[in-house]
Structure 1
Amino acid sequence: MSASKPQRSGEVRIKHSLNKKEEEFVARRRNTVLQCLQKFNIHCSQDKVPNIALLGSGGGQRAMVGLLGSLVELDKAGLLDCILYLSGVSGSTWCMASLYKEPDWSTKLETVKDKIIKRLSGEGVNWTDILAKLKKYYYGKDFFSLTDVWAVAFVTSFVKEVCKYIQNIL
């Protein structure tokens, strides 16, 4: 394996519980949720903190912008820290990927929002480079599907980051 490629594991974890680091994160997040709920005079004990989740919808760029807008409004209302879990499908995961690039995204939401808006309103993707990278990617894989091509051709027109993404996987 070359030094430039990230090392990947072929193992799949099948368990009915979170791993240790996820458990630690959820425990810390429960404290944050508890404090936020107490600000709104919603009292519960540490072991009875409700599992409040926000699920972003699918729908491409509309879902991406919709989830970002919902998070911004929850933040303005002081409710963002009441959310224990954030989940999404399809287009909303494009927003989530941008959020997770910033480790403390919930405390720096305005900065993350500005970066997403700048990227979405920025310059388009260079298709010549994308095709060259797709070709290189194709020859390095045992299996290459129409989904791979679709992801690059369609999604990049919205998220405008395929060059960085493909560089990371090559």
Structure 2
Amino acid sequence: MNAREIMTRDVETVSPDDDVGEVLGRLARADFNGFPVTEDGIVVGIVTQGDLVDLFQPSGRTLWIPVGFPPFLESLTYAVDISWDKLDFGIDIARNAGRPVSDVMTEDVVTVGPKADIDELLDLLADEGQDINRLPVVDEAGALLGIIARQDLLRAIKLERDGE
């Protein structure tokens, strides 16, 4: 099996110019926790919930991040320690309103080609030093072809072991 056989082809992406609030709202409704950032189909970064939560300077209690504009009908919940006396949440929201994803995305994205085998994928997704949860699959020019999440790889390994 290789990356082309395992990857999800229909990938939701964001643009470097997208507003962090909008992206956080999309993540609140998604079944995953990160988006490849693309420009003209080329992968230029990756943004995760963790990247966006860092904007609110979390440090132990529970943090609810309102999504969208008032009235906040949705929220993301994170079990983090907040120093409430040092954090004026309203100011953080206002300060980050309109901020582009390019300000918080990871630019040095680990990607794989469509022919990458299971061992290469496993090495990357199991590397504790990198802590990668998803691998964009790109062609030689860096154009996004698909994405492989850890769960996709685990499912593929199980299917291979089961002989399917």
Q: TM-score, normalised by structure 2?
A: 0.31
Higher relative contact order (Cα pairs below 8 Å, separated by 6+ residues): 2
More strand per residue: 1 or 2? 2
More helix per residue: 1 or 2? 1
Q: TM-score, normalised by structure 1?
A: 0.30
